[in-house]
Amino acid sequence: YKTKIRVRRPKKHYTAFEGRVWALCAKMGFDYINSDQNFKLEYETGLEKQIDVFACDSETILVFECKSTNERKRVNYQKEINELAGLKNKIRFAAQNLTKGKQKVAFIFCTNNAVISKNDRLRLENHSIFHFNQDVIEYYEQLTDHLGNAAKYQLFGELFAGQNIPELKNKIPAIKGKVSAGHTIYSFCVDPEYLLKIGYILHRTDTNPETTQAYQRLVKKSRLNQIAKYIDRSGYFPNSIIINIETKSSRGLRFDPASKIEHDGSTHFGILHLPKTYRSAFIIDGQHRLYGYSKSKSQLNHTIPVVAFHNLPTDEQAKIFVDINHTQKSVPANLLQSIMADFHWDSDNDKQALSALKTRLFTDMNSDDDSPFYKRVILAEEKKTDKRCLTIQTLKSWGLNRVKYFGILRGDNLIQTGYLQETKREKTLEKSILFFNHCFKYIESQLPGQWELGKGDGGFIAMNIGVTAIIRILDDILDLIVANEKIDPYSFKGDELAEKTIKYLDPITSFVRDLDYEGTKKLRGLFGSGATEKVQREFQNAIHQKFPEFNPEGLEQWIQESSGQFDSPAHELGHNHIEPMIDECIRNMLKREYGVKDDKWWIDGVPGPVQKKCSERKIDERSTKPPHHFLTTMHYHSIIKSNWMLLGDCFTPPGMGNAGKDKKLTWLDKFNKIRIKYSHPQREHVTEQDLEFLKDLYRWLSININQKVAIYPA
């Protein structure tokens, strides 16, 4: 600054991570937290254990062990886990003595950037120690930012699921009934604080691979604040919050019918004994209303109406969520794909089941911190970033739906099995994850800079178009391997099958590595469903150059067309014959109809928007030429349509007399796309099929114009 200097020194990554966990507990409103990093708990006389983060309130004690690495890498924590597991009971006893209570105690092993092994995960699970990686911490940070202290209940639902909540009053009057599908429902009013304690929200995030059947979007802070203000102004919500109460059995929910009450309905009135356990009520709809009460400053005793299902399957919960929200606020396409995958997973319809499998493949890899697709896929409403730029819909429609990995469908039925299929769907998913992780780990290792860029400037291979092209090329490679090596793909594990593809992936990584900036820009700039096929052909050609036996159908023709041999004849025919023919016909017909004097043909015959665009271009180019000099091929589309009685017959293809105007003029759109090719061959070459189209177009245009147009004399 003008008179002073401010210096910033970043914390060490391990100190910063411990600080994040500590701050999270502070924001959640725990009554006691350790004051610094030197907090030690004496568990035996003269023996102490340093605790990274220690937090407690009247009901719970949380003990956090924090580990961090500077960059994402695999780390073995066997020693640390075994030490914590060995001291667990002693630490629990010492912690309860310190706080002079009988709180529930949870141990959380937190990691940042560290990819822990399956053995370490099993060790933590066997010793009832929770594992929170950086994503779980980030999720709770976001939740706390939105909910404040109420986010603590969501955390308790994760840590103490099924455990009793002391001194919770749970007897409430309710009406019991059944819906048409046979599910039992209860209707009642309850204190929001009670529902917050037993409630749990399945958020559709990528923090927990086990929570695959989550369906809720993350709460919006702005909506919560609006609801809280509305409540504080004596507002209320007459519509019910919808929940699902889960018990271990159908008899686990007690309902005492009221006696001596006569009525004519098919429902029953009585006293419902709600569960007194954490994570026993799942919020299907109304999370914003519920948490809005938690942020309200009003001192009034509110109750909220609730409709509760009992032991409703998760897929039914998700279906209700979609049905409700699809009519209110459109569910994002990626979130909808993800939800639909859950309740189509066990479908008897092969098409639905395969679609679910393809979605699960990428949702599971996205949440696996040992996968190259870790945090790369947009699953719900996450913000798109340079790295997180892949979308489920595109990966399926451009990639997985165009390959035979999972078999071939005819209608809704599977008629042929694929290379990655197993007898059970879970096994197919497991094999597929191994296959794709292994293949793309190799791509990532050979192109680390490219992979790291994502869709950032200069990136390509880790974008939708690059990933879907690799997915499709792997299908071609497997065809070659199975045919040439005479192997049985069903006898190989996913990573073993992937290992056989590596040598064929080398030419692709070399091709991408050798691309200059303009070459990369050209490939990443391709759009539409045909874009992936164009990149796939480039990859096929790269492999073919090194392995001539690799020759997928259509590659030879593509190589011929990509040579540019059709550019010159197409330019000759289109630029020197077809374009002048169309232009001359339209100008002469308009001049004959509207007159030449004072440019009447231009003023009365050409639509205003076209005149405007031509005039703007004339000004932009500072030209002295008249505006009609700047007419383009696509302008003719508007001119012909607005003068259909005059020009329609001239430009209607043979056999399309009964079609609509736009249908009759589709040839003009196609011609313009080819015109762009032969005008800019450095971007894309004209194909043999394109040239044949130009020849046919020239033939019938010549006949139509010569037969039906009397050329206006110059």
pLDDT at position 202, please?
66
| Average pLDDT estimate for 670-675 | 91
Please indicate whether residue 218 or residue 190 has the higher confidence score (pLDDT): 190
| Whether pLDDT at 218 is above 60 | no
Helices (H), 314-391: 314-328, 333-343, 350-367
Predicted confidence at residue 343, as pLDDT, reads: 53
At residue 192, does pLDDT exceed 50?
A: yes
Give the mean pLDDT of 107-129. Answer: 94
What percent of the chain has a predicted confidence (pLDDT) above 90?
48
Quote the pLDDT of residue 709.
Answer: 53
pLDDT at 708 over 70: no
Please determine, for residue 300, whether its predicted confidence score (pLDDT) is greater than 60. Answer: no
Mean pLDDT of the 183-190 span: 89
- CA 522 – CA 514 distance, rounded (Å): 14
DSSP 120-159: HHHHHHHTT-EEE-HHHHHHHHHHHHHHGGGHHHHHHHHH
pLDDT at 338 over 70: no
Residue 714 has pLDDT above 60, yes or no: no
- Please report the pLDDT score of residue 334 as a whole number: 60
The pLDDT assigned to 713 comes to: 44
Q: Which pLDDT band, with edges at 50, 70 and 90, does 215 fall under?
A: very low
Question: What are the tens digits of pLDDT across the range 408-422?
Answer: 988 888 888 999 999
Note the residue count of the chain: 714
Output the pLDDT for position 213. Answer: 47
Average pLDDT over residues 184-191: 90
Mean pLDDT of 571-575: 92
430-434, 438-442, 663-667: which range is least confident on average?
A: 663-667
Q: Is 445 exposed, middle or buried (CB count within 10 Å of its CB: 0-12, 13-18, 19+)?
A: exposed
Nearest CA to 326 out of 285, 377, 282 is that of 285
Mean pLDDT of the chain: 86
What tokens were used for 84?
A: 């914590």
pTM for the predicted model, two decimal places? 0.61
Backbone dihedral region of 311: left (phi > 0), alpha (psi from -120 to 50 degrees) or beta? left
Residue 37, SS3?
coil
Task: Give the pair of three-digit tokens for residue 315.
Answer: 């897929």
Dihedral (Cα; 637, 639, 643, 644), 10-degree rounding: 0
Tokens of 476: 């071609």
Amino acid 412: pLDDT: 86
Inform me whether the pLDDT recorded for 99 exceeds 80. yes
Q: For strands 390-391 and 377-378, give the pairing.
A: parallel
Six-digit token string for 617: 């271009």
For residues 106 and 158, what is the distance between their CA atoms, to the nearest angstrom? Answer: 10
Task: Write the secondary structure of 533-567 as one string of H (helix), E (strand) and C (coil).
Answer: HHHHHHHHHHHHHHCCCCCCCCHHHHHHHCCCCCH
Name the residue among 634, 627, 649 with its Cα closest to residue 583.
634
* Exposure b/e, 213-222, CB count within 10 A at least 16 = b: bbbbbbbeee
Reply yes or no on whether the pLDDT at 633 is more than 70: yes
pLDDT tens sequence across 656-667: 888 888 899 999
**Residue 276: its pLDDT value, please?**
87
Instruction: Say which residue, 491 or 218, is predicted with more confidence.
Output: 491
Q: What three-state secondary structure class fits 215?
A: coil
Its sign, for the CA torsion 356, 361, 364, 367, is negative
User: 670 falls in which pLDDT band (50, 70, 90)?
Assistant: very high
Quick one: average pLDDT of 423-439?
A: 94
